[in-house]
Amino acid sequence: MGLCFVKAPNLPPAPPGGYGQSLALQKILKLAKGGEGDSSPPPSVQLNSVSTSNILDGTIYCELIRAGFVQLALNYQHCNKINVFPVPDGDTGNNMVISTRGAVVAMTKTPPSALSASAMLVAGQTAICSTGNSGTLLSYMFNKISDGFRETAGGDTFDSLTLDQVAVIFNAVGKDMSNAMTNAVPGTLVSVICDCLCAATGNTTDLKAMITAMQMEGNASLQRTPEQLVVNGKYILKDAGVVDSGAQGFMCK
């Protein structure tokens, strides 16, 4: 994943089919199925039924994360295959799933309805399970979001926040992401998270409007990564014909 910016090697393009874990490792990890079993619990709320909501509570927050995890689990092998920087070790998708799966499992069939409890659950589990650069960055993001929720609510226990409040927090966390890495540069998961979260500002009419704006800007930012990531004068991603693998995992849909 493109997150090591000091003395990065000049890497050759990825081979046909990219880099990925072995079949033996796939069998051991069973990442796409989330472990034993073929399905996850049914959602506690259908997101399309709350698309016009102008608040974010714990149930909605958890279901948004769970929906994102499902897409990541379905596409993690692609993230592995396009993982060419800083080391083409084909583990970005694995790391992102491992880092977030604990939070999804902890939600159970009925996640906390209070936003304070849900945010703390996600922050705590991703901190415990964070693996690799991509997982560490996701943990940083979720913990900063949880901190922002708590500071805005003025306490440790609260049921919900308005989308206007959430957008302010997302904007602050997005701009703070560069502090998660030393010498962070554009064209990585750091910059895509920033662009995605900051897009919530001005799009708080309802939940659908906010998520749509964030998705559109995040995807646009993802497509810019090949032109942005330059190391020692080399366009590492562009030369390999890929986008940043961690950013791709973050924007899976």
Domain for residue 112, yes or no? Answer: yes
What's the mean pLDDT in 117-137? 95
How would residue 182 be classed by pLDDT, with cut points 50, 70 and 90? confident
What domain range is 181 assigned to?
A: 55-250
Q: What pLDDT is attached to residue 16?
A: 54
Domain for residue 79, yes or no? Answer: yes
Q: What pLDDT is attached to residue 44?
A: 76
CA–CA separation, 235 and 118 (whole Å): 40
Q: What pLDDT is attached to residue 193?
A: 97
Q: What pLDDT is attached to residue 13?
A: 52
What's the mean pLDDT in 164-187? 91
Higher pLDDT, 199 or 133: 199
Domain for residue 156, yes or no? Answer: yes
Mean of the per-residue pLDDT values of the chain: 85
What's the mean pLDDT in 69-95? 89
How would residue 61 be classed by pLDDT, with cut points 50, 70 and 90? very high
pTM: 0.84
- The total number of structural domains that make up the chain: 1
Residue 124's contacts (CB-CB under 8 Å, 6 or more residues apart) are none
Domain for residue 166, yes or no? Answer: yes
Residue 172's CATH number:
1.25.40.340
Q: How far is CA 101 from CA 32, 70, 147, 148, in A?
A: 11, 10, 21, 23
What's the mean pLDDT in 104-117? 93
* 49, pLDDT greater than 90: no
Tokens of 117: 């409890």
* 138, pLDDT greater than 90: yes
What's the mean pLDDT in 191-200? 97
